[in-house]
Structure 1
Amino acid sequence: MNQLLQISLSGVASFSVISAIFLFVYLICKCKNKSQRLEQTLPQTHPRQTTSGHATDELSSNSITAGESASFDPCLQEVSMAELNEATNNFNPKLIIGDGSFGLVYKAKLANGVTVALKKLSPDAFQGLREFRAEMETLGKLRHKNIVKMLGYCMSGPDRVLIYEFIEKGSLDEWLQDLPSLPPELSEGHWISPLSWRLRVKIVKGVANGLAFMHGLDTAIVHRDIKSSNVLLDNNFEAHIADFGLARSIEGAHSHVSTQAAGTMGYMPPEYRNGYTAASVKGDVYSFGVLMFEVATGKRPNWPVRDDGCELWMVEWAKKRMSENKHLEVIDTSIPKESLRDDEVYNFMKVAKLCTSEKPKERPLMSEVVDMLNSVAS
């Protein structure tokens, strides 16, 4: 009898324990479902935005989950990615006006009537959010008549778009190399076309002034991709340096070491081509010297030139002609010879030759180049 009672009591206890466990699980599930239903009835919240458009620290430092924008110029007020999409018809390829480093450039007219250039960065250009903001803040403060203004930027999800002032007459490369393909509104007018010698000298001086300004800052900025397609011309043919996709800030005379490829073949200084990755002001000086030769000769620096049955790179060819006292023979044939002064052309080419010295230490500073150009070309 006692044994039967013990068995009964044991069964009742087991049943009670199992029932309690099932009841506990049921209550947990019921509370969880209730919580989920409650969340669904509440309005969704997003990380709070400041008045400047920056997300608060609720956002991860390396990702963007909400729209963000910043303005560096009074002409650009609050702007959203939705407005930029509308202004470009969802970045229609028909509005592309350039192909800069790490992205395509589009022409767009904003809702406030301001025409701008929008550079939509490719995924290859992405970096940490904090680093990106810091670089944009630095470039957004650059104000010089020979540097394209960065007006602001806009980000949403994976998309990052830089907003620049629109420069009317396109790139120097187009005016030197592709004049027949320029739209009628750019190639017509009272200006001499193709570019006269005086206009070419003016453009070169403008680029020199812009670079000297960048290199002379307390924290120097090295462009690292000076070339004719990165020089834009306004209605007065004033030069504006554009596309700072490879630009780096450096302290004083120091250099910035980077594993990122810098520059464009033909303009790249020999130390870059040989694997030296430190960005320095002297690298910009070399590229500027190549640009000077291109402006004078009208020939692309990355295309070979035939000379006495041999093929030479444009810079080598121009230097060889100079050594033979045939510097006038390298000048673009579209420039009337009667408009040229022998001594002025020679001194202009001499500056270009000095800038393209093989050894960085032998190249002048851009401030020195400005002084030389002011003295050799009126």
Structure 2
Amino acid sequence: MSKRIGPSEVDLKEEIGDGSYAVVYRANYTNKIVAVKKFDGSCPTSCKKQFENEINILGKLNHQNVIKLFGFCDHRNNNFLVLEYMEGGSLLDLLVSNEKIIYPYNLIKDICNGMEYLHANSILHLDLKSPNVLLNKSKIHAKLADFGIAKISTLTTMSSSSVGTKSAKGTFRWMAPEISRGIPGMRSSDVWSFGCILIEFMTRKLPFQSLNDQQLLIVLQNEKSDLPINVEIFSKVMAGILNECLKREPSARPSFTQLNEMLSKCTQKDFDLNRNDHGTLGCSIKTITDLEKFIENVKNTTEKDKRKDKEIEELKKKLNEKEKDICSINNNLADIKKKVSDLEINKNAENYSQTRLSFYYHILSPPESPMNNFLQNRMNSPSSSFSTFDSKSKHSGRDTGYKYVSRGSANGRTIFEGTRGGFYYLTPSGNKAYVKIDQVSIF
């Protein structure tokens, strides 16, 4: 419950704003700066209902993006609200000025967060507009204000039961089409108003500024009429969100929870309206129909891009598999080459070993042969003689029938046994070349 405050407890300072039935002052209350919204004592009954409505609704709310109510005074003709003071002024003041908007994404996100909180508590604002969004001193955070015509909705109808055209007089620029036709406001009506604030961000002008109030009301009420938005689109994300909010059919608009999900996928860059190299679209959209066509083209292009991306990914996957196959083949080939090399090395080693063993075997243990038998017999019977000598040769040695193979000789030379012992073979010049017993064993 809100606290009741006496008139003497508040020290009013300068005027900082005014409306149809109320003036807003900067004031002191309990040694802190506050904003006092003072209602005209002679205001009609409807004005008093708005006063009571704000007390009733703000007294139930507590959120970082909703203005705080410290208390109220309803003493005789002193009817005022004591509210949180926002040094940055209203969003409208910032948007129509030449001042650079440092963090537009923060402000848009704060508005969306505040509205999601209201709807979660079954409260419809129904007068959401840039003058009713207040900023902190640095102008990077926003809070919702002015709940004079806000209503508590029911969960079954999700709509107000008494908000019509007259209630929203003076706010046509942010008014949803259904409200302009006298249909009670709904949650989706606030979403339309949020879309109108996005137009302000994109144009730094009031929504639908090319139309006066009367023209705008006619266009809003005629479902077939197209609304001129005249926005410069710099971001597909921003264009997509705007398109969703400005659907003629209330049920086609997203909830603030869904909008927050969309915004959560965005960055400051998507809403940076101060860049010269906007880097995305930089195209002008004149009407809501143009916006719808633009979004449809974006969707088609996106689908094509997705298909191409999918094809690219599939090709990359196949390429990766082929590279793995090639790598496996190379590894197998390297293994095979190594095995072949090892086999060749082993083969050469075995051949070399066998050759060496054979060589030493013949030297150390000559094989059984007639020559060896001959030598053995010769050694056992040194006096023995042989009957057959080569009579044709010029020497008297006995042909042993064996050959001495020397280096460079293909056929070998006949080994003879001399009459006085010893073994020799004849050189090409006819001279005797004696050999030792161990040399005989190599043939």
TM (normalized to structure 2)? Answer: 0.52
The residue number in structure 2 matching 1:167 is 86
The residue number in structure 2 matching 1:88 is 12
AA at the equivalent of 1:81: P
AA at the equivalent of 2:167: A
For residues 372 and 124 of structure 1, the distance between their equivalents in structure 2, rounded to whole angstroms, comes to 43
Structure 1 residues 138 and 226, CA gap change in structure 2 (3 angstroms)? closer
Q: Match of 1:88, SS?
A: strand
Answer 1 or 2: higher relative contact order, Cα 8 Å, separation at least 6.
1
Q: Match of 1:105, SS?
A: strand
For residues 133 and 272 of structure 1, the distance between their equivalents in structure 2, rounded to whole angstroms, comes to 23
> Are the counterparts in 2 of residues 101 and 245 from structure 1 also a CA contact under 8 Å?
no
AA at the equivalent of 1:273: S
- Cα deviation 1:39-83 (Å, max 9, x = unaligned): xxxxxxxxxxxxx9xxxxxxxxxxxxxxxxx52xxxxxx731133
Q: Match of 2:80, SS?
A: strand
The residue number in structure 2 matching 1:58 is none
The residue number in structure 2 matching 1:208 is 112
Q: 1:118: how far off?
A: 0.7
The residue number in structure 2 matching 1:157 is 76
- Cα deviation 1:311-352 (Å, max 9, x = unaligned): x99x9444x76xxxx623xxxxxxxxxxxxxxxx12112101
The residue number in structure 2 matching 1:290 is 196
For residues 240 and 273 of structure 1, the distance between their equivalents in structure 2, rounded to whole angstroms, comes to 26
- Cα deviation 1:93-146 (Å, max 9, x = unaligned): xx2212246412111112x21111111123446469999667624321211111
Q: Match of 1:164, SS?
A: strand
* Residue 327 (str. 1) matches residue 233 (str. 2): yes
* Residue 120 (str. 1) matches residue 22 (str. 2): no
Q: 1:228: how far off?
A: 0.8
Q: 2:5 aligns with which of 56, 72, 79?
A: 79
> Are the counterparts in 1 of residues 39 and 51 from structure 2 also a CA contact under 8 Å?
no
- Cα deviation 1:341-366 (Å, max 9, x = unaligned): xxxx1211210121111110110011
The residue number in structure 1 matching 2:407 is none
Structure 1 residues 223 and 125, CA gap change in structure 2 (3 angstroms)? farther
The residue number in structure 1 matching 2:176 is 269
Q: 1:243 aligns with which of 146, 150, 155?
A: 146
The residue number in structure 2 matching 1:355 is 245
Structure 1 residues 231 and 101, CA gap change in structure 2 (3 angstroms)? farther
RMSD value, Cα = 2.8
For residues 124 and 275 of structure 1, the distance between their equivalents in structure 2, rounded to whole angstroms, comes to 25
TM (normalized to structure 1)? Answer: 0.60
Q: 2:185 aligns with which of 255, 276, 279?
A: 279
For residues 269 and 230 of structure 1, the distance between their equivalents in structure 2, rounded to whole angstroms, comes to 16
For residues 113 and 89 of structure 2, the distance between their equivalents in structure 1, rounded to whole angstroms, comes to 19
Q: 1:285: how far off?
A: 0.6
Q: Match of 1:288, SS?
A: helix
For residues 43 and 185 of structure 2, the distance between their equivalents in structure 1, rounded to whole angstroms, comes to 20
- Cα deviation 1:180-239 (Å, max 9, x = unaligned): xxxxxxxxxxxxx4113xx1111001000000000011xx11111111111111134211
For residues 153 and 115 of structure 2, the distance between their equivalents in structure 1, rounded to whole angstroms, comes to 14
> Are the counterparts in 1 of residues 53 and 148 from structure 2 also a CA contact under 8 Å?
no
Q: Match of 1:168, SS?
A: coil
Structure 1 residues 162 and 273, CA gap change in structure 2 (3 angstroms)? same
Structure 1 residues 274 and 195, CA gap change in structure 2 (3 angstroms)? same
Q: 1:178: how far off?
A: 3.3
Q: Percent identity?
A: 29
Q: 1:367 aligns with which of 245, 249, 257?
A: 257
For residues 129 and 157 of structure 1, the distance between their equivalents in structure 2, rounded to whole angstroms, comes to 12
For residues 125 and 151 of structure 1, the distance between their equivalents in structure 2, rounded to whole angstroms, comes to 25
> Are the counterparts in 2 of residues 265 and 302 from structure 1 also a CA contact under 8 Å?
no
Structure 1 residues 267 and 253, CA gap change in structure 2 (3 angstroms)? farther
For residues 116 and 128 of structure 1, the distance between their equivalents in structure 2, rounded to whole angstroms, comes to 22
For residues 87 and 67 of structure 2, the distance between their equivalents in structure 1, rounded to whole angstroms, comes to 12
Q: 1:173: how far off?
A: 0.7
Structure 1 residues 130 and 88, CA gap change in structure 2 (3 angstroms)? closer
For residues 246 and 125 of structure 2, the distance between their equivalents in structure 1, rounded to whole angstroms, comes to 16
Q: 1:302: how far off?
A: 4.5
> Are the counterparts in 2 of residues 100 and 243 from structure 1 also a CA contact under 8 Å?
no
Q: Match of 1:109, SS?
A: strand
> Are the counterparts in 1 of residues 208 and 227 from structure 2 also a CA contact under 8 Å?
no
- Output aligned runs, 1:30-69, within 5 Å: none
For residues 136 and 248 of structure 1, the distance between their equivalents in structure 2, rounded to whole angstroms, comes to 12
> Are the counterparts in 2 of residues 101 and 246 from structure 1 also a CA contact under 8 Å?
no
> Are the counterparts in 2 of residues 154 and 162 from structure 1 also a CA contact under 8 Å?
yes
For residues 156 and 210 of structure 2, the distance between their equivalents in structure 1, rounded to whole angstroms, comes to 34
Q: 1:158: how far off?
A: 2.8
Structure 1 residues 132 and 373, CA gap change in structure 2 (3 angstroms)? same
AA at the equivalent of 2:147: F
> How many correspondences in the alignment?
250
AA at the equivalent of 1:145: Q
> Are the counterparts in 1 of residues 7 and 73 from structure 2 also a CA contact under 8 Å?
yes
For residues 174 and 293 of structure 1, the distance between their equivalents in structure 2, rounded to whole angstroms, comes to 15
* Residue 300 (str. 1) matches residue 201 (str. 2): no
Unpaired runs of at least 5, structure 2: 212-218, 221-225, 269-443
- Cα deviation 1:269-317 (Å, max 9, x = unaligned): 11111222x1211110100011011112212115218xxxxxx99x944
- Cα deviation 1:126-185 (Å, max 9, x = unaligned): 469999667624321211111111111011113310110101111111111135xxxxxx
